[in-house]
């Protein structure tokens, strides 16, 4: 039977807003792809990434352009060649996984060969702000075992010291979103080492991250923006110790599973990350989380309202998705 294909834009308010080094947001904007064969329905969600020129409109256009071949039975394997890596392909790929699982009467994890999904501990994000405001927000989250701290460049040494003082027991990972440069790199690195930070995500702009090659450090440095959409991990090992795999950049669960294997073969640590989306966007990433060293899938925790049904969280413990949500 011919598939029905729909791509709808949705908005979800962010509780208290969300601020990183290059933008401030009040709402999560997502695109949801729904595929229906008349009996079964599969869904996938993506978050357009402005850094790579993606918008709600451009993603919906990409999906509309592929709709005809989807209706005729385009496979997940063929999809990898039919669409470029990015948010649009992620939503379609995850919807196909969900549809396949529903039709087979099996979980997506079983179809992927991942095995029985287990609960994981996710990071909880502290937005960038003044040291005083970040310390206040951190104190409210200090009971969480893993905190992800957004940074912004100059002054990050004071920010990370304030956060560490406010959460002395939590494991800290930090994300500079490419905001450091040579003027503050050494000072910020030293502050992170002094605070016992476990991982620094993308400290330098991807175009000028050669500074990372060969430097001695005690903190794991993780590539995010330097792992470009549609690219492999090849060539990153001399600069990075870990890679952040995001389904929206990989272009879906199918490619993300391959990236995990590539990363492990090159002795990278693995972080599974997310854009700011709902439980529907996080659900497929839970499969990757089973093999990850660091899990950052707190998108739904940052929303004023998640979709229903959503993922189950108990504190920072994230439980596998139920079939009613995805997979």
pLDDT tens digits, 139-177:
999 999 999 999 999 999 999 999 999 999 999 999 999
| pLDDT digits 0-9 by tens, 257-278 | 999 999 999 999 999 999 999 9
pLDDT band, very low/low/confident/very high, at 214 (cuts 50, 70, 90): confident
- 197 vs 21, 149, 279, CA distance in Å? 19, 10, 28
Please provide the CATH number assigned to the domain covering 120-318.
Answer: 3.20.20.120
Q: Which of 102, 148, 246, 249 is catalytic?
A: 246
| pLDDT digits 0-9 by tens, 76-118 | 999 999 999 999 999 999 999 999 999 999 999 999 999 999 9
Single out the residue of 312, 285, 299 nearest to residue 25, CA to CA. Answer: 299
Residue ranges in 131-243 assigned as alpha helix (H):
131-141, 156-166, 185-194
Specify whether 246 is catalytic: yes
Q: Which of 102, 137, 148, 150 is catalytic?
A: 150
Q: Is the model's pLDDT at 1 over the cut of 90?
A: no
**CA–CA separation, 252 vs 88, rounded Å?**
9
Q: Are 114 and 107 in contact (CB under 8 A)?
A: no
Q: In the chain, where are the structural domains located?
A: 4-105, 120-318
Q: Is the model's pLDDT at 21 over the cut of 80?
A: no
For domain 4-105, say whether CATH 3.90.1150.10 is its number: no
pTM of the model: 0.94
| pLDDT digits 0-9 by tens, 217-257 | 999 999 999 998 888 999 999 999 999 999 999 999 999 99
Single out the residue of 109, 100, 200 nearest to residue 151, CA to CA. Answer: 200
């Amino acid at each position: 039977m011919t598939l029905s294909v729909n791509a709808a834009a949705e908005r979800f308010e962010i509780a208290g807003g969300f601020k990183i080094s290059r933008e401030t947001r009040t709402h999560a904007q997502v695109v949801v792809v729904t595929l229906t064969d008349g009996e079964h329905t599969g869904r996938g969600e993506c978050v357009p990434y402005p850094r790579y020129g993606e918008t709600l409109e451009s993603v919906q256009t990409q999906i509309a352009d592929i709709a005809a071949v989807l209706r005729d039975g385009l496979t997940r394997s063929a999809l990898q060649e039919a669409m470029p890596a990015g948010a649009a392909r992620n939503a379609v790929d995850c919807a196909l996984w969900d549809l396949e699982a529903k039709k087979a009467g099996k979980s997506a994890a079983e179809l992927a060969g991942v095995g029985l999904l287990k609960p994981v501990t996710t990071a909880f994000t502290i937005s960038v702000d003044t040291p005083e405001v970040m310390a206040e927000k951190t104190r409210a989250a200090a009971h969480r075992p893993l905190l992800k701290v957004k940074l912004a460049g100059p002054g990050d040494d004071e920010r990370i010291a304030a956060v560490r003082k406010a959460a002395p027991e939590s494991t800290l990972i930090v994300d500079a979103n490419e905001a450091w440069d040579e003027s503050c790199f050494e000072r910020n690195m030293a502050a992170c080492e002094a605070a016992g930070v476990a991982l620094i995500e993308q400290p330098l702009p991807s175009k000028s991250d050669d500074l990372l090659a060969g430097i001695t450090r005690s903190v794991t440095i993780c590539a995010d923006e330097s792992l470009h959409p549609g690219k492999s991990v090849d060539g990153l090992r001399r600069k990075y110790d870990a890679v952040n795999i995001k389904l929206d950049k990989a272009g879906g669960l199918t490619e993300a599973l391959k990236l995990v294997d590539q990363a492990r073969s090159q002795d990278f640590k693995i972080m599974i990350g997310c854009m700011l989306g709902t439980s529907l966007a996080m659900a497929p990433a839970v499969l990757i989380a089973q093999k990850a060293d660091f899990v950052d899938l707190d998108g739904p925790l940052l929303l004023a309202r998640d979709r229903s049904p959503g993922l189950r969280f108990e504190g920072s413990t994230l439980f596998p998705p139920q079939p009613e949500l995805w997979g």
